Structure 1
Amino acid sequence: MNIFKQFIKSLYSPKDIAPYRFQGIGKTILYVFFLTLLSIIPSSVYFSTALINGMGAIQDSVKTELPSFIIENGEMQSDIDVPKIINKDDFTIIFDSTGTVNQKELSNSNNTIALLKNDAYFVAGGQVQSFSYSMINDAVLTNDDIESVLATFDSLLAIIIPLIVLVIYIFAAGLKFIEISFLALVGLLLKKLLEVDIQYRHTWRLAAYSVTLPTIFFTVMDSLKTLVPNGAILNWFVAFIILFLVIKEIPRPEKK
């Protein structure tokens, strides 16, 4: 059975997932990468679109609306006493050299560029990218320098966006493998409960397919920009139930 048929079956049929415990580990790993790729499509699209739109917004704001500032020794300095917030269409630009705004306040933001006292942040599609001013070493940056940097950055978006999406994909794949490995450990407890003769390598394969339904559900919710309350708990609960039903489909050894 090819990977696409397995994907469809894994959405609704624990009985069809059960035989996958015998397939090669390479095919299962390939399936995990395929599932991860599907899961990051909405966030990658939103992130890329927001980045392209945001570059135009911040370039215009640096020229016309932001106060004069200087970045030196890893710190931004200006004459403002309170943070300045600029709303442009669906984008928000936060300028704060006072240290009032912190990263935690940005975690719930959407489509935001924040130039803070020690770092710059870009938030889009549920992804947060940061840049520390200390990375520019002893260089001194002013408004004019930032305009030049932004113009260069804008011209390189065709290269930068795929690289950022690749990093997002690798990070998401790592988390997915960790999730599956932990769920496979839970599978060992289930196999004792259900008295089924399988080993960890089997439960790992089964866990990889058991996470399909919750993964696709949250992918759809991301595409609709809908926040699911207690999403992490729901994700683990659904994956656990599916794995339980899958292991339950495995024939038990006959008792002598």
Structure 2
Amino acid sequence: MNVISFSERTLACMSLFNQFIKSSSSPKHIALFRFQGIGKTISYLFFLSFIMSIPAFWAAAAYVIAGTDATRKAIEELMPLLSIAQGQSQNEVILVAAGLFFYYVLISFTLFFKATVFGGLALIAVSLLKKRAEYRHLFRMAAYSLTLPALLTTLIQLTGLTFSFAYLIDWLLIAFILILSIRFLPGAPK
């Protein structure tokens, strides 16, 4: 008989925004999110992709509305596809929309790839830490472990700052959060 606790039922009904808040600050909740359905986890990754796309949407809006040289340069640095649009004002809005769509798809693919890779790496961590979990649980935990690094990346993009080892820091932060979450998993049977 499979008994679901009150906290697991509560997590199943939690909105994407509440999951975002909980997973950005609580490794314990990330561990509990392993009980989410895969559809809810996939929806969450698309939601996270949207959050990460906000700097590009913001820059594109400034590009279309203002159209100044400074905003054009900023958006072309963020989305090189738009360099094709120079001198073709009637097609620029379409190109911006297409660029934003492909940017969103690229971010979504990147997040799914990271969740897949970190889910696999978490299998090693689980065996080393003598915890119990299947890959499907670890994929879900990895997906929610992406939240804080994604939020930090988005905020950094909005401020216009750049770092030399940003990707390395991003991957190390994801690994750190995932390891903290794995600590809340039940121990492996002896």
Q: Mean Cα displacement is larger for which, 235-244 or 195-204?
A: 195-204
**Is the 8 Å Cα contact of residues 146 and 174 (structure 2) preserved in structure 1?**
yes
Q: Is residue 2:78 matched to residue 1:167? A: no
**Is the 8 Å Cα contact of residues 76 and 83 (structure 2) preserved in structure 1?**
no
Q: 1:131 to 1:41 in 2, by over 3 A?
A: closer
The gaps in structure 1 that reach 5 residues or longer are: 58-87, 92-109, 113-121, 133-145
Deviation digits for residues 133-156 of structure 1, max 9, x if unmatched? Answer: xxxxxxxxxxxxx96xx24325xx
Q: Is residue 2:140 matched to residue 1:127? A: no
**Is the 8 Å Cα contact of residues 133 and 185 (structure 2) preserved in structure 1?**
no
Higher strand share: 1
SS in 2 for 1:111: helix
- Partner of residue 238, structure 1: 173
Q: 1:202 to 1:127 in 2, by over 3 A?
A: same
The gaps in structure 2 that reach 5 residues or longer are: 1-13
Q: 1:189 to 1:151 in 2, by over 3 A?
A: closer
Match of 1:197 among 127, 132, 147: 132
% identical aligned pairs:
31
Q: 1:131 to 1:213 in 2, by over 3 A?
A: closer
RCO comparison, higher one (Cα < 8 Å, 6+): 2
- Partner of residue 217, structure 1: 152
- TM-score, normalised via structure 2 length: 0.83
**Is the 8 Å Cα contact of residues 81 and 99 (structure 2) preserved in structure 1?**
no
Matched ranges for 1:171-186 at <5 A: 171-186=106-121
**Is the 8 Å Cα contact of residues 37 and 169 (structure 1) preserved in structure 2?**
yes
Give the distance between the partners of 2:132 and 2:119, measured in 1 at CA.
14
Give the distance between the partners of 1:36 and 1:151, measured in 2 at CA.
29
Opposite residue 198 of structure 1, the aligned amino acid is: A
Matched ranges for 1:94-113 at <5 A: 111=73
Whichever of the two has the greater Rg, that structure is: 1
Give the distance between the partners of 1:12 and 1:250, measured in 2 at CA.
17
1:130 deviates by 6.0
1:52 deviates by 5.0
1:197 deviates by 1.6
RMSD: 2.3
Give the distance between the partners of 2:90 and 2:179, measured in 1 at CA.
53
Opposite residue 202 of structure 1, the aligned amino acid is: H
Deviation digits for residues 55-102 of structure 1, max 9, x if unmatched? Answer: xx6xxxxxxxxxxxxxxxxxxxxxxxxxxxxxx5x26xxxxxxxxxxx
Opposite residue 148 of structure 2, the aligned amino acid is: L
Higher helix share: 2
Give the distance between the partners of 2:82 and 2:89, measured in 1 at CA.
19
Deviation digits for residues 80-133 of structure 1, max 9, x if unmatched? Answer: xxxxxxxx5x26xxxxxxxxxxxxxxxxxx817xxxxxxxxx724x2211678x
Opposite residue 200 of structure 1, the aligned amino acid is: Y
Q: Is residue 2:45 matched to residue 1:32? A: yes
Aligned residues: 176
Opposite residue 63 of structure 2, the aligned amino acid is: A
Q: 1:127 to 1:152 in 2, by over 3 A?
A: closer
